[in-house]
Structure 1
Amino acid sequence: MKAIRLHAYHERPRVEDVADPAVHGPYDVLVDIGGAGLCRTDLHIVEGQWADRSKVPLPYTLGHENAGWIRQVGSAVEHLQPGDTVILHPLVTCGFCRACRAGDDVHCEASVFPGINADGGMAQVLRTHARSVVKLPDQTQPADVAALADAGLTAYHAVKKAVPLLYPGTTCVVMGAGGLGHIGIQCLRALTATRIVVLDPSEEALALTRQWGADETVRVDGKHVERVLELTEGKGAQVVLDFVGERGAERDSWAVTRSAGSHFVIGYGGTIEVPTIDVISTERNVIGNLVGSYNELAELMALTANGQVRLHTCTYPLDAVNDALDDLVAGRLRGRGILVPDRLG
């Protein structure tokens, strides 16, 4: 089959032929990939930012946002059939540790993360585990929802954690209206009555946010922090969701978080440097966010099914992965890039 393989950090990944995966265990599932999302994490992987954390042997197959159709199941799998349309929770989890038993499977003690520390889904077929599979309505097109498996799930996870803080009359600042941010805005509108203020350097991106639920937009132009403070009577927002996490957004996010407010870090790549006196004197919180749980993915797909969340996408054939990466780096990509492999015979 065809797969996108990374052979060395700081080098472009390439499409090559690899052996087809096979079912080994009773709960293994093979999925014909119908859409594999392109994430900024994939760019950071190529840049080597994950090398010390994932310790994955190279070469390996990228891709941690995956949806498609069941191809084959192991002998113990009874709830899935070949041909079922599915989206995949990004982690393969054990089901037995304390975190898994509490429904907090993202912190599974024995998890494997395809596309991060194991072969991923930028390929024609992916092997995963039955625990990772969320069944979808038959009419769902995998390419339309694939990036919800990580980008959407991460955004939903952060928003859900913030919901108790966002009572009517509050303000939530959203940093970034791109692949993560546009989903976060929709989740905020679906789950809260907060006022949503969106920041982004692109007027084009900001123009789209009104249809997703934004109440106010602020262009990142050097005066954006002042503008947000004006909109919040000099106090800042109760919650700031930073979907960028680099290039100064992490600094600006802290600056527009009010006293006793919460700065949710979702995007990454930069560094947060906060004097400890600022933390204790204002009781502001910095909250980290990883990907969400299996149950949260099922909840997000329910919002998608009833039209409250819609993924904005641009599709590419599998062999155009580097064109997609170039568009992502250059800021030409609106929403999420989705790689669509040819179906394996």
Structure 2
Amino acid sequence: MRAVQVVGYGQGLKMAEVPRPEVTGPFDVLVRIGGAGVCRTDLHILEGQWAEKSQVQLPYTIGHENAGWVEAVGSAVTNVGEGDKVILHPLVTCGLCRACRSGDDVHCQNNKFPGIDTNGGYADYLLTTARSVVKIDDSLEPADVAALADAGLTAYHAAAKAARLLTPRDTCVAIGAGGLGHIGIQVLKALTPARIVVVDRNPAALDLATNIGADETVTADGTQVQQVLDLTGGNGAEVVIDFVGEGGATSEGIAMTRQGGDYLVVGYGENVNVPTIDLVSAEINIIGNLVGSYNDLQDLMALTARGAVTLHTQKYPLDNFQQAISDLEAGKVRGRAILIP
């Protein structure tokens, strides 16, 4: 089968012919890929940012946002069958550790992360397990929802966490209305009555934000912090969700957060540098957000099936993987890029 592989850090991806994985274990599920999301994390992988953390052996197949059709299942699999349309939770988890038994499977002590530390879905097929597959509604197609497996799930996890903190009197600022942010905005609209303010430097992204639920938009032209303060009576927002996490967004996001507020960081790429006296005196909470749980993914797919969340995509044939990577790196992708085998 075809597989797009990382062959070296600082190098381009390469297409290779590799053996198709086979079902061997009782809980194995082989999925024929119908769509694989192209994520900014993939760019960070190629830069070598994940090399020490993942310890993955090169070459390996990249791609951690995957959906498709069940091709084959192990003897003990009961939740899906051949031909079912599925989206894949990005982690393969054990089900036995304390985190898994608590429903916090994203922190599984024995996890594997296809596309990060083992073979992923920029390929014709991907081997996963019954614990990772979520059946999707018949009205949905794998290529249309694939990036919800990570970008959508991560955005949902942060937005749902924020929604538990917000009331109708509150303001939530979302920094970034791109691949992550445009999903988070829709989830916020579905889950919270708070006012939603979206900050982005791209006018097209702000137009999209308005169309999908933003109550106010702010152009990131260097005055964005002051604009947010003006919209909140000089106090800042009760919750700020930073879907960017680089290029100065972290310091700006904290400056937009009111005393006693919560700054949720989702995007990454730079350090958060805050004098401790500022944290103590303002009692600001800085909260990291990883990808969501299996239950989060089921909730997100329920919202998607009822039309409350729509993933905006640009689709590319698998053979055009380099164009998708280049477009993402150049900021030309509106929404999420999807590779289709």
TM-aligned CA deviation for residue 331 of structure 1: 1.1
Describe how 1:175-214 pairs up with structure 2 within 5 A: 175-214=175-214
**Aligned letter for 1:56?**
V
Provide the C-alpha distance between the structure 2 equivalents of 1:79 and 1:285, rounded to a whole number of angstroms: 39
Q: Which residue of 2 aligns with 1:261?
A: 261
Provide the C-alpha distance between the structure 2 equivalents of 1:81 and 1:112, rounded to a whole number of angstroms: 23
Provide the C-alpha distance between the structure 1 equivalents of 2:149 and 2:271, rounded to a whole number of angstroms: 26
TM-aligned CA deviation for residue 329 of structure 1: 1.4
Matched pairs, number: 341
Q: Name the SS for the 1:197 alignment partner.
A: strand
Identity among equivalent positions (%) equals 62
Provide the C-alpha distance between the structure 1 equivalents of 2:163 and 2:282, rounded to a whole number of angstroms: 21
Q: Would the aligned equivalents of 2:69 and 2:86 in 1 still touch at CA under 8 Å?
A: yes
Q: Which residue of 1 aligns with 2:46?
A: 46
Q: Which residue of 2 aligns with 1:55?
A: 55
Q: Would the aligned equivalents of 1:64 and 1:114 in 2 still touch at CA under 8 Å?
A: yes
TM-aligned CA deviation for residue 250 of structure 1: 1.1
Q: Name the SS for the 1:113 alignment partner.
A: coil
Describe how 1:313-324 pairs up with structure 2 within 5 A: 313-324=313-324
Q: Which residue of 2 aligns with 1:111?
A: 111
Provide the C-alpha distance between the structure 2 equivalents of 1:162 and 1:207, rounded to a whole number of angstroms: 23
TM-aligned CA deviation for residue 24 of structure 1: 1.6
TM-aligned CA deviation for residue 14 of structure 1: 1.6
Provide the C-alpha distance between the structure 1 equivalents of 2:139 and 2:291, rounded to a whole number of angstroms: 26
Provide the C-alpha distance between the structure 2 equivalents of 1:41 and 1:323, rounded to a whole number of angstroms: 16
Q: Which residue of 2 aligns with 1:279?
A: 279
Q: Which residue of 1 aligns with 2:330?
A: 330
Provide the C-alpha distance between the structure 2 equivalents of 1:139 and 1:222, rounded to a whole number of angstroms: 43
Provide the C-alpha distance between the structure 2 equivalents of 1:9 and 1:60, rounded to a whole number of angstroms: 12
Q: Which residue of 2 aligns with 1:300?
A: 300
Q: Which residue of 2 aligns with 1:102?
A: 102
Q: Deviations over 1:173-230 (max 9, x none)?
A: 1000000000000000000001111011100111111111001111111111111111
Q: Name the SS for the 2:337 alignment partner.
A: strand
Provide the C-alpha distance between the structure 2 equivalents of 1:257 and 1:44, rounded to a whole number of angstroms: 28
TM-aligned CA deviation for residue 103 of structure 1: 0.4
Provide the C-alpha distance between the structure 1 equivalents of 2:247 and 2:241, rounded to a whole number of angstroms: 15
Q: Name the SS for the 1:233 alignment partner.
A: coil
Q: Deviations over 1:136-191 (max 9, x none)?
A: 12342100000000000001101111112110010001000000000000000000
**Aligned letter for 1:20?**
R
Q: Which residue of 2 aligns with 1:6?
A: 6
Q: Name the SS for the 2:31 alignment partner.
A: strand
**Aligned letter for 1:327?**
D
Q: Deviations over 1:229-270 (max 9, x none)?
A: 111111110000000000111111011011000100100011
Provide the C-alpha distance between the structure 1 equivalents of 2:115 and 2:18, rounded to a whole number of angstroms: 15
Provide the C-alpha distance between the structure 2 equivalents of 1:153 and 1:297, rounded to a whole number of angstroms: 6
Provide the C-alpha distance between the structure 1 equivalents of 2:81 and 2:32, rounded to a whole number of angstroms: 13
Q: Name the SS for the 2:138 alignment partner.
A: coil
Provide the C-alpha distance between the structure 1 equivalents of 2:105 and 2:27, rounded to a whole number of angstroms: 17
Q: Which residue of 2 aligns with 1:243?
A: 243
Q: Would the aligned equivalents of 1:84 and 1:138 in 2 still touch at CA under 8 Å?
A: no
Q: Which residue of 2 aligns with 1:311?
A: 311
Q: Is residue 72 from structure 1 mapped to residue 89 from structure 2 by the alignment?
A: no
Of stretches 146-155 and 130-139 in structure 1, the one that deviates more from structure 2 is: 130-139
TM-score by length of 2: 0.99
Provide the C-alpha distance between the structure 2 equivalents of 1:161 and 1:23, rounded to a whole number of angstroms: 37
Q: Which residue of 2 aligns with 1:86?
A: 86
Q: Which residue of 2 aligns with 1:17?
A: 17
Provide the C-alpha distance between the structure 2 equivalents of 1:79 and 1:130, rounded to a whole number of angstroms: 7
**Aligned letter for 2:270?**
G
Q: Which residue of 1 aligns with 2:227?
A: 227
Gaps of 5+ in 1: none
Provide the C-alpha distance between the structure 2 equivalents of 1:170 and 1:78, rounded to a whole number of angstroms: 44
Gaps of 5+ in 2: none
TM-score by length of 1: 0.98
**Aligned letter for 2:245?**
G
TM-aligned CA deviation for residue 305 of structure 1: 0.4
Q: Would the aligned equivalents of 2:139 and 2:305 in 1 still touch at CA under 8 Å?
A: no
**Aligned letter for 1:227?**
Q
Q: Which residue of 2 aligns with 1:291?
A: 291
Q: Name the SS for the 1:12 alignment partner.
A: coil
Q: Would the aligned equivalents of 1:35 and 1:66 in 2 still touch at CA under 8 Å?
A: yes
Cα RMSD after superposing both structures: 0.7
Q: Deviations over 1:276-305 (max 9, x none)?
A: 000000000100000000011000000000
**Aligned letter for 1:260?**
G
